[in-house]
Structure 1
Amino acid sequence: MTDALDRLDLLDLDDDLSDDDRLLRDTVRKFANDRLRPNIREWFEEGTLPARELAQEFGALGVLGMHLEGYGCQGALASQYGLVCAEIEAVDSGLRSLVSVQGSLAMYAIHAYGSEEQKQRWLPGMAAGELIGCFGLTEPDSGSDPGSMRTRAVRDGSDWVLNGTKMWITNGSLSDVAVVWARTDEGVRGFLVEKDMPGFTRQDVHHKISLRASVTSELILDDVRVPEANRLPEGNGLKAPLGCLTEARFGIVWGVTGAARDALGATLDYAGSRTQFGKPLAGFQLTQKKLADMAVSLQQTQLTARRLGELKDAGRIQPHQVSFGKFANVSAALAICREARSILGGSGITTEYPVLRHAVNLETVYTYEGTHEVHTLVLGSKLTGIDAFR
């Protein structure tokens, strides 16, 4: 696979990495190859994940909330966090989801909108992987339109009482703290709901075909009493959770390049060793056309990720630019994995090879944290100056 990865870098993008970037990437790649890759087939097939154990290992590696400042976080560049997402998702999208939901949704929400007391209480343990967080925005009847959420928070003395249901929540049943967004008389507000609060229950979603190596849950809030001290003081209005989603989408833009790269690398190796009609598959013109198209598309996704990394490191990135990245990169990565499967033929439908596993995972990534259609309309709005969401 190392030789295949070198051949896929047609534009010599690796040459532009700094020594620190290369060391970080290679360290995470080694961890992924030694610890994650040997087990991902079993985790996916069985629909299980030792998430708590892995969270602590990711914490020891220093990648949870690594782009945040202070509170046990490294304060790394956003582009360095992107490199990490690519290496983890090269193994599986579910594993990257574990990392990005922890760091870019739950931890980011507390870091950006929480009080100093909340940051001190939660962030160091979350950075170490000793505490797990989740992010509760999506509901059974409220996905692309979060403004229609039904979860309510009502003041009762110095407390709030929350009622509602959140759905498709990564890390939900594992979480020590859930960042829950609810409608109040003053508008949308964010709350830190702790796992042992009476009336707060979690249950996992089973029978998944996609993201099987990931914990997906439903959160149920039945008269959950949350003290005012657990309300995010700066988490006011729908703009706050949407800001968290923009933060998390950045990791997706990078992560899916890893999934596509892994699928294409495995396919390149297979095409070079599989013989038909007296020569390797890689020697046929139609196969080379497919490989060339996929390799160019892969490098274009990597260039997009690099550019967004430059913008974010410079503090100039805009939400529509992140939408551009998710719109372009997820669809391209999904197309690469589907085409790669066609070269592998029947072998491509088994978990012996990663291509179809990546493809079915990317079907979910295509939808979550903003559907492809939503990002289409974000870009359309930017181009025309007209919102077409309703």
Structure 2
Amino acid sequence: MTFLLLIILVIVLLFTITEIRTKYLTKPIFVAFKKILPPMSTTEKTAMEAGDVWWDGEIFCGKPDWQKLHDYPDASLSKEEQDFLDNQVNTLLAMIDDFKIVHEAHDLPKEVWDYMKSEGFFAMIIPKSYGGLEFSATANSTIVAKIATRSTSAAVCVMVPNSLGPGELLMHYGTQEQKDRWLPGLSNGTEVPCFALTGPEAGSDAGAIPDKGIVCEEEFNGVKTLGIKLTWDKRYITLAPVATVLGLAFKLYDPDKLLGETEDIGITCALIPADHPGVEIGDRHMPMGLAFMNGTTSGKEVFIPMDWVIGGADYAGKGWRMLVECLSAGRGISLPALATAIGHISTKTTSAYAYVRKQFGLSIGKFEGIQEPLARIGAHTYVLEATRRFTTSALDMGAKPSVVTAISKYHMTELGRTVLNDAMDIHAGKAIQFGPQNYLGNLYLGVPIAITVEGANILTRNLMIFGQGATRCHPYVFKEMEAAANSDFKQGLKDFDALLVKHIAFSARNFGYTLLSGLTASKFAQSPVAGETADYYKQLNRMSSALAVCSDVSMLVLGGALKRKEMISARLGDVFSQLYLASAVLKRYEADGRQVSDLPLVHYSIQNALYEMGQAFDGYFENFKPKWLSSILRRVVFPYGISYRKPSDSLARAICRTLLKSSPARDRITHLCYMGTDEKDAVGSIEAAFNAMHECQSIELKIHGAQKTGKLPRRVPLAKAIEKALEIELITAEEAAKIKRADELRQAAIAVDSFAPEDYPNTVR
């Protein structure tokens, strides 16, 4: 007892008397922390500081404020934005033949380019004062997604000028003169922008770009001018082959110190007319399955005046911060929009195809082997649409959550890949023959591009999500790092001490809550809602606190080595990400008015997210060292073992019952899918067959019933069965015409493209 009281007394003294705590606890930790703090490059530091912390901070705190989630404004379109979607976007899509674009012309038709330019498709983010549309992030995302359901090539052409590029950089950092010079032209389409960052030797590590500029003075337009002599070699630059203005990122050096005392100034961004002497717009690349303009650009010792630096001379060396801050927002719009488009078109067409395609006299959608992937398609599309709108709502609120957008980019493009793989499997032979009727083929070939752009997903998962999230979203770690980096040891120690006390209390609370939640399975925890989703909030609270505990332990044990333990940090990042996706699903369900018909999709999505968290934690515990510590963590988080399971078969069947008929739930996750009015339109035709067959269900049942009883012959073509049914007056002439028409539409919908020999005159026979 005396020993126990002595321990308690020591703890009390440490935590209540500042001088004692600082001397015997904080200072040793502070000194050790300074030693293990990993060296951080300028580019890493800039990336770490860029952007905002939003809902990701709530997830990481161990106790999310769910009321805050519900209070966030829902992503929505203004009347002007909706009118543009209903009119200009639909007009554009009616002009597009994606098969011809990709497989014949390898480019958008001139009339499509002209229409996009004249109607402001390249100027959605530019203010109205410069002639732009000044649309919201949600509108930008929605428009790109809808275009992508028709043509990914066209969507990319629209996406790039409205994402990371000259327009956005000019609006945020450009001088007034630069804005007045370029933004009106970018708005009306007379100027086409591209931005060159990636080169042969520098992709994800932008800090390693070899492209360089030397500050110097040369004659320009007959006047001696302070400027930069540039040499660069870039590749993978979208719109470069057709660009009139080139945005360029390079390293700037000032050996003669014409700008100041610093010789190595850093990454800088400039805007250069494409017809400027020395600028080379080189060869064109051919991205798989797509026909958007993408190519190379280079230049050797090209002189530009200093006022072509975006923001002017004052912004020389600030290019990396400019890029990271803009990219953190754009990453949450463009590529997630493409992934969501995959979900919308795959759900719309695959559910319809599974209903109209028959085997053994039954719609293939009635076979459980088809229902399993079809349910995945529907549930993943619900997650995609929920996450898309949740993320753009943050951007429309003015936030720039860099971690959230990285999560969106990685997981949404991966979900899009999964959805498309399942859709291809269900369509089988129809999906692998190219032609105007194949609405999945170009998407399938193009999906790796979305996954690779803005950094391959391997990079995003293993380095960015948790690597950045652990420091930015943790309530104390980033501040502790700043305190440790303070050159004033005394002040740094004082700041660190205040943070350390709060950090210890934070960790203790999360440890206690995690253990209690695990022992009680969160049965007695509170939930902000009642009903069928109430338990999900409890489980997500439990996983949030478990993530906080494991993150603290990992950072304490591994220190700076954690960023090199990419497999460990990636698994914690997976938990982090699934918490975000699940939050988006719950937000969507509430924002849509808690629709009962959406519940199978919600249940499947959250249960799958919890299962993925369990798997990620299991991998973390298996591989984290020391083993005795990982065993303790496993017992704290999951005292009775990991109980989260994959969604059940009955839940998958419930989703399929929703998708295999016209329903509000199906409409909500496919509303962006464009369907042409022409009966020959690939997507429109399969939806027409789907609806026509549903209208004929009662007629079909009469015929099948008569076949079972022997009144009509079995195993005969449908046309013959209809003829006999009409003869015995089982159906009326009107019903016979109706079901014949439905079967004609069905046959057209399942047809596969074929081509005459003269279409391929060089074929060897």
Query: TM-score, normalised to structure 2's length?
Result: 0.47
Select which of 218, 242, 249 maps to 2:324. 242
Residue 89 of structure 1 corresponds to 148
Tell me by how many angstroms 1:65 deviates.
2.9
Name the SS for the 1:126 alignment partner: helix
Alpha-carbon shift at residue 288 of structure 1 (Å):
2.0
User: In the alignment, does 2:272 pair up with 1:200?
Assistant: no
Separation in structure 2 between the aligned mates of residue 369 and residue 15 of structure 1, nearest angstrom: 24
Match of 1:363 in 2: 448
The structure-2 alpha-carbon separation of the partners of 1:79 and 1:206, relative to structure 1 and needing over 3 Å to count, comes to closer
Residue 35 of structure 1 deviates from its aligned partner by 1.4
For residues 428 and 108 of structure 2, the distance between their equivalents in structure 1, rounded to whole angstroms, comes to 32
Correspondence 1:290 to 2:373: yes
Aligned to 1:10: none
1:327: Cα distance to partner? 1.2
Contact 2:227 2:305 in 1 (8 A): yes
Q: Distance in 2 between matches of 1:227 and 1:51?
A: 36
Displacement of 1:53 in angstroms is 4.6
Amino acid at match of 1:132: V
CA distance in 2, matches of 1:197, 1:16: 42
Alignment of 1:47-196 (within 5 A): 48-50=106-108, 53-69=111-127, 70-104=129-163, 105-157=165-217, 158-185=226-253, 186-196=265-275
Q: Greater shift after overlay, 218-227 or 378-387?
A: 378-387
CA distance in 2, matches of 1:334, 1:315: 30
| Contact persistence 2:95–2:112 (CA under 8 A) | no
Alpha-carbon distance between aligned partners in 1 of 2:175 and 2:269, rounded to the nearest angstrom: 12
The partner residue of 1:309 within 389, 392, 411 is: 392
RMSD of the TM alignment (CA)?
Answer: 2.3
The answer (yes or no) to whether the contact 1:259–1:358 under 8 Å persists in 2 is yes
Residues 57-113 of structure 1 deviation map (CA, whole Å, 9 limit, x = unaligned)? 123333323133231112222111111111111122222221121122231122222
Match of 1:258 among 316, 341, 345: 341
Letter in 2 for 1:151: D
Asked if the contact 1:63/1:81 (under 8 Å) is kept, the reply is no
Moved segments of 4+, more than 4 Å: 14-21
Structure 2 letter corresponding to 1:90: T
Q: Give the letter aligned to residue 352 of structure 2.
A: D
The corresponding residue for 2:464 is 378
Bigger Cα displacement from structure 2, 20-29 vs 65-74: 20-29
Task: Kindly indicate which of the two structures has a greater share of residues assigned to strand.
Answer: 1
The aligned amino acid for 1:67 is I
Please tell me whether the aligned partners of residues 132 and 187 of structure 2 are also in contact (alpha carbons under 8 angstroms). yes
Letter paired with 1:312: L
CA-CA distance at 1:228 after TM superposition? 1.4
Check whether the contact 1:266–1:353 (CA below 8 A) recurs between aligned residues. no
| 1:145 aligned partner, one-letter code | D
Structure 2 SS opposite 1:74: coil
How many Å separate the matches in 1 of 2:76 and 2:157? 29
Deviates more, 1:245-254 or 1:305-314: 245-254
Report the more deviating stretch, 136-145 or 347-356: 347-356
Q: CA deviation at 1:121?
A: 1.3
Taking the aligned partners of 1:179 and 1:88, their CA distance within structure 2 comes to 25
The aligned residue for residue 11 of structure 1 is none
Instruction: Report if aligned partners of 1:48, 1:213 keep a CA contact under 8 Å in 2.
Output: yes
- Contact kept, 8 Å, 1:49 with 1:214, in 2: the verdict is yes
Secondary structure class of the residue paired with 1:388 = helix
Equivalent residues, number: 374
What is the identity, as a one-letter code, of the residue corresponding to 2:157?
L
Secondary structure of the residue aligned to 2:161 is helix
What is the aligned partner in structure 2 of residue 7 from structure 1? none
Q: Percent identity?
A: 21
1:321 aligned counterpart, secondary structure:
helix
SS of corresponding position for 2:156: helix
Distance 2:430 2:368 in 1: 21
Mapped partners of 2:319, 2:238: distance in 1? 23
- Distance apart, 1:32 and its partner CA: 4.1
SS at structure 1 position matched to 2:201: coil
User: Cα–Cα, structure 1 residues 322 and 175, in superposed 2: closer, same or farther, change >3 Å?
Assistant: same
CA deviation string 1:367-386 (max 9, x = no partner): 10122122212211244336
Contact residue 278 and residue 300 of structure 2 kept, 8 A: yes
Q: Partners of 2:111 and 2:214 in 1: how far apart?
A: 37
Are the equivalent residues in 1 in contact too, given 2:122–2:161 (CA < 8 A)?
Answer: yes
Going from structure 1 to structure 2, the CA distance change for 1:381 and 1:373 (only over 3 Å counts) comes to same
Does the residue aligned with 1:290 lie in a helix, a strand or coil? helix
Residues 209-236 of structure 1 show CA distances to partners (whole Å, capped at 9, x for unaligned) of: 24x2201110011121111121112462
- Once the 2 structures are TM-superposed, how far is the Cα of residue 20 of structure 1 from its aligned partner? 4.9
Deviation, 1:51, is 6.8
Please give the secondary structure, in 2, of the residue aligned with 1:224: strand
Q: How does 1:17-36 map to 2 (within 5 A)?
A: 19-36=79-96
Structure 2: stretches of 5+ with no match in the other structure: 1-73, 218-225, 254-264, 472-559, 567-765
Q: Which runs of 5+ in 1 are unaligned?
A: 1-13
Residues 122 and 77 of structure 1, relative CA distance in 2, 3 Å threshold? same
Aligned to 1:8: none
Whole-Å Cα distance in 1 between the matches of residues 110 and 323 of structure 2? Answer: 25
- SS of the residue aligned with 2:135? coil
Aligned partner letter, 1:271: A
Q: Which residue of 2 aligns with 1:6?
A: none
Q: Could you give the per-residue CA deviations for residues 236-277 of structure 1, whole angstroms, max 9, x where no partner exists? A: 231112223223322222232113312332222222222211
Q: Does 1:225 align with 2:303?
A: yes
Q: TM-score, normalised on structure 1? A: 0.89
2:384 maps to a residue whose letter is T
Give the whole-Å Cα distance in 2 for the aligned partners of 1:32 and 1:361. 21
Q: Which moved more, 1:81-90 or 1:49-58?
A: 49-58
Contact 2:93 2:147 in 1 (8 A): no
Does 2:291 align with 1:213? Answer: yes
How far residue 28 of structure 1 moved from its aligned partner, in angstroms, is 4.8
Q: Corresponding residue for 2:563?
A: 388
CA shift for structure 1 position 144: 0.9
**Higher RCO structure, 1 or 2 (CA under 8 Å, sep 6+):** 1
Partner of 1:46: 104
1:308 & 1:15 partners in 2: Cα distance?
9
- Greater mean deviation of Cα atoms: 25-34 or 328-337: 25-34
Give, in whole Å, the separation in 2 of the partners of 1:198 and 1:106: 20
CA distance in 1, matches of 2:210, 2:151: 33
Are the counterparts in 2 of residues 159 and 228 from structure 1 also a CA contact under 8 Å?
A: yes
